[in-house]
Amino acid sequence: EPEVTQTPSHQVTQMGQEVILRCVPISNHLYFYWYRQILGQKVEFLVSFYNNEISEKSEIFDDQFSVERPDGSNFTLKIRSTKLEDSAMYFCASSSGRRTEAFFGQGTRLTVV
């Protein structure tokens, strides 16, 4: 069964450092998303991406965040200067169409120290 894969599974970084979280969406999917989940809290939308540009972003997705699809398979989330409050589980998701199921990856746990 096709799945969304994310790397690394766990990333520890120092405050102020840049991190890049990587995702390989399901191959025939066209719509890509990043969500995050602070420990014990709800899943929150960060950004959606289609046709090589951002479709929508939340208030959380400020200038410290950026997304990129550098090649035909990867979808990345970059945090330029991490803060302690960026510590969370980050989920990548993809879907084949606007109104179809979004499939989630297993997540990357980001710990900022």
Partner 1 sequence: QQQVKQSPQSLIVQKGGISIINCAYENTAFDYFPWYQQFPGKGPALLIAIRPDVSEKKEGRFTISFNKSAKQFSLHIMDSQPGDSATYFCAASRPNSGNTPLVFGKGTRLSVIA
State which residue, 24 or 102, has the beta carbon closest to partner 1. 102
Q: What residues line the site for partner 1 (CB under 8 A)?
A: 4, 31, 33, 35, 41-45, 48, 50, 55-56, 58, 91, 93, 95, 98-99, 101-107
State which residue, 14 or 28, has the beta carbon closest to partner 1. 28
Nearest approach, Cβ of residue 44 and partner 1 (Å): 7
State which residue, 31 or 79, has the beta carbon closest to partner 1. 31
State which residue, 14 or 42, has the beta carbon closest to partner 1. 42
Q: Which residue has the tokens 């520890």?
A: 12
| Cα separation, 36 vs 26, whole angstroms | 19
Nearest approach, Cβ of residue 16 and partner 1 (Å): 28
Please say whether the beta carbons of 40 and 22 come within 8 A.
no
Residue 109's closest CA among 38, 34, 28?
A: 38
Nearest approach, Cβ of residue 36 and partner 1 (Å): 11
Using alpha carbons only, what angle is made at residue 70 by residues 108 and 52, rounded to the nearest 5 degrees?
100
Q: Would you call 57 helix, strand, or coil by DSSP?
A: strand
